[in-house]
Homo-oligomer: A and B are copies of this chain.
Amino acid sequence: MNDVPTLNPAIVLVRPQLGENIGKAARAMLNFGLTDLRLVAPRDGWPNPDAGPAASGADEVLANARVYATVQEAVADCRHIYATTVRKRDLWKPVVTPEAAAVAMRARGFQQAVLFGAERSGLETEEVAIAQDILTVPVNPAFTSLNLAQAVLLVAYEWHKAADTTPAVVTDYEPPADHATLEGLIVQVDAALDDAGYYHVPSRVAAAKRTLRNLLTKPGYNGGEIRTLRGMVHAIVAGRRGNRPRD
Instruction: Report which A residues bind B (CB closer than 8 A).
Output: 27-28, 30-33, 56-58, 91-97, 99-100, 137-140, 142-147, 150, 153-154, 157, 160-161, 164, 166-174, 222, 224-225
State which of B145, B157, B169 has its C-beta within 8 Å of the C-beta of A56.
B145
**In angstroms, how far is the closest chain B Cβ from the Cβ of A243?**
30
Distance to closest chain B CB from A237 (angstroms): 25
Identify the interface centre among A28, A58, A157: most chain B CB within 10 Å of its CB.
A157
Cα distance, A166 to B173, chains bound together (Å): 37
A-B pairs with lowest CB-CB distance, top 3: A100-B168, A138-B166, A95-B170
Chain B, residue nearest A156 (CB): B140
Residue of B nearest to A161 (CB): B138
The reply to whether B145 and A160 contact each other, CB–CB distance below 8 Å, is: no
Asked if B57 and A145 make an inter-chain contact with CB atoms under 8 angstroms apart, the answer reads: yes
> How far is A138 from B1 in the complex, measured between Cα atoms in Å?
12
Instruction: Specify the chain B residue showing the minimal Cβ separation from A168.
Output: B100
14 further A-B contacts with Cβ under 8 Å, apart from A95-B170, A138-B160, A150-B153, are A27-B147, A28-B150, A30-B140, A30-B143, A56-B145, A91-B173, A92-B224, A96-B168, A96-B169, A97-B166, A138-B161, A138-B164, A154-B154, A154-B157
Question: Least Cβ distance of A87 to chain B in Å?
Answer: 13
B92 touches A225 (CB 8 A): yes
